[in-house]
Structure 1
Amino acid sequence: AVDQLRLLRSEFVKNVSNEVLNQLLDKLQEKILNPEEAESIRVRHRADKARYLVDTVLKKGQGAASVLVHTFCTLDSESDLCQKLRTVD
């Protein structure tokens, strides 16, 4: 999952919606992000929010990256990006 996030980081930043990002932050705060991390990401504009989310998750390793990919695909299962993340998986 770390490799797939690195490969698709720029596409994720470009395409993920603010609505999906906010849902992702809520879900990931339950599992891998502490409240301070989530809040520091949440206050940014959409592209920076996506960028910081991916970078924060990548620092946490394979397990966190897997949770992000799985959660994203649960929230946005029909997106091209989810299909690509699943293909690389």
Structure 2
Amino acid sequence: MAKPKPSLTDLTLQKGVTSPPSPSAQAAASEKEEKRIGQTLRLGAGAHKQLKRLAVDVEKPMHDLLLEAVNDLFTKYGKPPIA
């Protein structure tokens, strides 16, 4: 009779791989992180192209430049830059 094949769990335990964090551990870690809410920004083709070129020129992701712009807007209106 053929020997049964080991399960994936058996194989990972043999290699010393630990199990993934429990859901409660993941929840505790995520509570420490700041909660973020998505916001969609639609740009015209020219503005998008210009932003993309600027991101290449300054070697920053477009997302970082947009957050910088939001912080500048907050500052302009007397709010703390927290984006």
Relative to the length of structure 1, the TM-score reads: 0.30
* Structure with more of its chain in helix, by fraction: 1
Which protein shows a greater Rg? 2
Higher normalized contact order (CA 8 Å, seq sep 6+, divided by chain length): 1
